[in-house]
């Protein structure tokens, strides 16, 4: 039976890599997939991973009817055997409903990949709707790690190297941006609560207040 599957995880845990692996495995068997993405790090109409792999995709703009796009391709003689959606957290809830319709009405598997919560630990609307509608929700087994070595469970946004908890929900950035830019870092819950990023931890360790006193 076709399924709507939501693969979720923090940033930097291999979601896009898995999406590309699924595409590779299925295309090697002669199957043809339709790939959607939104605000990928490699630019518009691209699905990329941090390992350097990249493929073309359809940019899922807010007004794009995903079900209608698949139907149009099929009606024009195109072949679509499955659908992959990366950065699914950025989709509108209505677009998630369209993906469910692709599964139910067109009987195609849909594999959606995305972050569950934002930098404020709030559910993205697209991810919330996926949790509500998906046949399966899979947490990726490749665990991202906090700077302390614990399992990373939260995404932190940084500006100028400092963690922020206010602002627009969607601001495109990445975990490898420079300190001066808007960036992101994955943290365990304890250090996310304390707003203790790796940079803050290094600064605290170098602070004169915590250096040992050496006798003169």
Would you give the end-to-end CA distance of the chain in angstroms? 76
Side-chain-side CA neighbours of 148 within 13 Å: the count stands at 15
Does the annotation count 87 as an active-site position? yes
CB environment 131-169: b (16+ within 10 A), e (fewer) = eebbeeeeebeebbebbeeeebbbbbbbeebebeeeeee
Q: Which helix or strand (DSSP H or E) is residue 58 part of?
A: strand 58-59
Which sign does the torsion angle of CA 11, 12, 13, 14 carry? Answer: positive
Contacts of residues 70-76 at CB distance under 8 Å and 24 or more positions apart, as own/partner, are: 70/34, 70/102, 70/106, 70/108, 71/106, 73/34, 74/106
**Both structure tokens of 137:** 């929700």
**Both structure tokens of 79:** 């072949």
Query: Per the residue annotation, which of 23, 44, 72, 87 is the catalytic one?
Result: 87
Give Cβ neighbours of residue 69 (< 8 Å, ≥ 6 apart): 34, 58
Distance from C-alpha of 181 to C-alpha of 177, rounded to nearest angstrom: 6
Annotated catalytic sites, by residue? Answer: 87
């Amino acid at each position: 039976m076709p399924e709507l599957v939501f693969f979720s995880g923090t940033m930097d845990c291999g979601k896009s890599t898995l999406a590309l692996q699924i595409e590779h495995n299925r295309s090697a068997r002669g199957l043809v997939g339709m790939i959607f993405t939104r605000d990928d790090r490699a630019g518009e109409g691209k699905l990329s991973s941090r390992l350097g792999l990249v493929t073309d995709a359809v940019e899922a703009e807010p007004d794009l009817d995903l079900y209608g796009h698949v139907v149009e391709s099929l009606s024009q003689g195109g072949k679509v055997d499955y659908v992959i959606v990366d950065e699914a957290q950025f989709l509108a809830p209505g677009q998630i409903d369209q993906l469910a319709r692709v599964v139910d009405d067109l009987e195609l598997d849909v594999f959606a990949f995305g972050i569950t919560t934002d930098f404020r630990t709030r559910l993205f609307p697209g991810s919330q709707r996926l949790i509500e509608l998906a046949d399966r929700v899979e947490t990726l087994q490749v665990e991202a790690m906090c700077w302390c070595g614990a399992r990373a469970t939260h995404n932190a946004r940084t500006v100028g190297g400092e963690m922020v908890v206010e602002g627009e929900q969607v601001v495109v950035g990445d975990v490898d941006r420079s300190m001066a830019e808007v960036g992101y870092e994955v943290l365990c819950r304890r250090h996310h609560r304390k707003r203790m990023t790796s940079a803050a931890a290094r600064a605290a360790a170098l602070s004169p207040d915590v250096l040992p006193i050496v006798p003169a």
